[in-house]
Amino acid sequence: MFIFILQLRHMFEGQSEIYLFAVFSGLVWALWILKVVLSRRYRPATAPYDVSTSVVIPVVDEPLDLFRDVLQRIVDQEPDEVIVVINGAPNPGLEAVCDEFGGLVQRVHTPIPGKRNAVKIGTQMSRGEITVLVDSDTVWTDGTLPELVKPFADPNVGGVTTRQRILEPERSWITRWADWLENTRALYSMPAQSYLGQVGCLPGRTIAFRRRILVQVMDAFMTEKFLGVFLEVSDDRTLTNLTLKAGYKTVYQYSSLVYTDAPLQVKKLFKQQLRWSRGSQYNTLRMLPWMIGHAPVLAVFFLTDIILPFLLFGTLAGWVYRAVSGTGINLYQAILETTTGVQGIAWVVGLMVVSSVLSMAIRQIRHLQEKPSDFFRLPVFIIVSTLFLMPIRLLGFFRMAHVAGWGTRAGAYVGSKDDAGNGDLIAELESIDPHAPRDLVDRTPPRGTPAVGGARRPDEDDTDARLALRTRTRTRTEVEEPVAARPRRNLQVLVPYLIGLTIFAGMAVFYV
């Protein structure tokens, strides 16, 4: 804050230089003020609303005790039906947990790994007017469901999400940081956007949609591409986009609370944040024309989210350039000249730390009112959010047109084999007999897996049958399936790089 004020003063005194850090800080403060003004007008829905509900839970793998608790808490709130869609490899443990609830929980299996196909299957099976999509590690609190459906009393509301916190945040600094981020979003961004009826991303841990909207947008949800790729991840943002474009409101219900887990390892945290960053920025650019015409404030929120990491990187690079080249004006120079040596450096560092902490404390005042002890953790929060999260957002921007999977779950969708989209979820779905039910094992089982009905597979023990199978396969391939041409590279992956380099080149003008 201290350097920001000095730079503003210097610019307003008629100097020709424009400070990128002042632009960066100005955007941060302007966005925060906008969120404060809008969020103060937000009110959650309060009137009870009676409506039929179907809960759909896509799951790849989960600790059985946790999954049992997840199901129990959902069943206790008496939705009209609970549908568990196990995707990927068969999972007898998850099946057994589902069966513990008897007829209260339906389960179905699909061999196709990926949340989107599981959502499609669950939606097709659901019968409630409201379909609630729930992540398999999300723990509901008392009243989550009845509170969640209250906004649907307004027929213009198409999607609703909950307030979300992290389970046992005291476990590590990572969980504390993740919970802090979730609470800040719940106190500022979500209510601000909800007041406008335009929550830009209904987080996927628990989202409720009108079933007819999901049916209406399902084809687009399963096939839409941007920059030449189909992005399996960011399914929640995609469904939110499609709901908004269909003409419905998307809102946030603060009184509906759920808890979810967070990574405990930096590597998994990195992969999670990179996945979110790629999906968010990918969908921002895809949705930008619509937002500019129909939701300009939402466009400001998400475009600023893209621009800030570039400005921060440009600011840091500019400081290095100024120091090396000896150009520009050093606003700390007077302190260093009048107080030399270690004492001068200590004053400069002290002013930077104190002003940064006070600046962040103001912007985090609502969270600190709930948890005053976090004031002493502000330096760590600032360092992690700046030096860890901002670079990930830059990397996510440049990598948004590269196909990739979830990255944090074994057995989940792993993305395309090439940048042209070959081998992605859509290609795998198209490769399956369209008349075969999606909830059966349609792909060839792994080696050693018994065939349906217990018959022996020819690749287990019967050598003659195995050779015959290979011969038939080779002959059929040679006759019916000519060798495919090498897949073309998707040149659109270069678009984010060109945009990013253009932004960096523009910022360099201020320094050179």
Q: Give residue-wise pLDDT tens across range 228-244.
A: 888 888 899 999 999 99
- Return the DSSP state at 319: H
In percent, how much of the chain has pLDDT > 70? 76
- Token readout for 476 is 């059929």
Give tens-digit pLDDT for 347-386: 767 777 787 788 889 999 999 999 999 999 998 898 888 8
State the pLDDT at residue 21.
78
State the pLDDT at residue 334.
59
CA quadruple 128, 131, 134, 136: dihedral sign = positive
CATH class of domain segment(s) 46-268+282-291: alpha beta
pTM above 0.85, yes or no: no
Question: What gap in Å lies between CA 401 and CA 162, rounded to an integer?
Answer: 30
- Return the DSSP state at 329: -
Name the burial class of residue 35, with classes exposed (0-12), middle (13-18) and buried (19+) by CB atoms within 10 angstroms of its CB: buried
CA 366 to chain centre: 24
- Token readout for 305 is 């989210």
State the pLDDT at residue 236.
93
pLDDT band at residue 87 using 50, 70 and 90 as cut-offs? very high
State the pLDDT at residue 332.
59
pLDDT band at residue 454 using 50, 70 and 90 as cut-offs? very low
Give tens-digit pLDDT for 460-508: 344 344 334 343 434 434 444 445 456 567 788 899 999 999 999 988 8
State the pLDDT at residue 7.
61
pLDDT band at residue 314 using 50, 70 and 90 as cut-offs? confident
**Is 303 a residue whose pLDDT tops 60?**
yes
State the pLDDT at residue 455.
35
State the pLDDT at residue 121.
96
Could you tell me which residue, 52 or 226, shows the higher pLDDT?
A: 52
Closest CA to 230 of 12, 489, 64, 425: 425
**Mean pLDDT computed over 208-223:** 95
State the pLDDT at residue 4.
63
Give tens-digit pLDDT for 274-286: 999 999 999 999 9
State the pLDDT at residue 451.
36
pLDDT band at residue 317 using 50, 70 and 90 as cut-offs? confident
Instruction: Supply the DSSP string of 193-225, one letter for each residue.
Output: HHHTTB-S---TTEEEEEHHHHHHHHHHHHH--
- Token readout for 208 is 């409720």
Question: What gap in Å lies between CA 257 and CA 261, rounded to an integer?
Answer: 14
Q: What share of the chain is helix, strand, coil (3-state, %, to 5)?
A: 55, 10, 30
State the pLDDT at residue 343.
72
Closest CA to 99 of 108, 91, 90, 107: 107
Residue 179 backbone phi and psi in degrees, to 5 = -65, -40
pLDDT band at residue 75 using 50, 70 and 90 as cut-offs? very high
State the pLDDT at residue 429.
45
State the pLDDT at residue 357.
85
The answer to whether 245 and 124 are in contact (CB under 8 A) is no
Mean pLDDT, the chain, rounded, equals: 82
The answer to whether 406 and 272 are in contact (CB under 8 A) is no
Give tens-digit pLDDT for 137-149: 999 999 999 999 9
The answer to whether 30 and 104 are in contact (CB under 8 A) is no
Could you tell me which residues come within 8 angstroms of residue 14 by beta carbon, excluding any fewer than 6 positions away?
A: none
pLDDT band at residue 304 using 50, 70 and 90 as cut-offs? very high
Question: What gap in Å lies between CA 213 and CA 216, rounded to an integer?
Answer: 5
Span of 49-63, 198-212, 229-243 with lowest mean pLDDT: 229-243
State the pLDDT at residue 407.
52
Q: What angle do CA 437, 443, 444 make, to 5 degrees?
A: 140
- Token readout for 449 is 């897996």
State the pLDDT at residue 152.
98
Question: What gap in Å lies between CA 297 and CA 294, rounded to an integer?
Answer: 9
Could you tell me which residue, 60 or 489, shows the higher pLDDT?
A: 60
pLDDT band at residue 457 using 50, 70 and 90 as cut-offs? very low
**Mean pLDDT computed over 418-439:** 42
Question: What gap in Å lies between CA 294 and CA 399, rounded to an integer?
Answer: 28
Closest CA to 97 of 144, 146, 57: 57
**Mean pLDDT computed over 66-85:** 96
102 Ramachandran zone, left/alpha/beta (phi>0; psi -120 to 50)? left
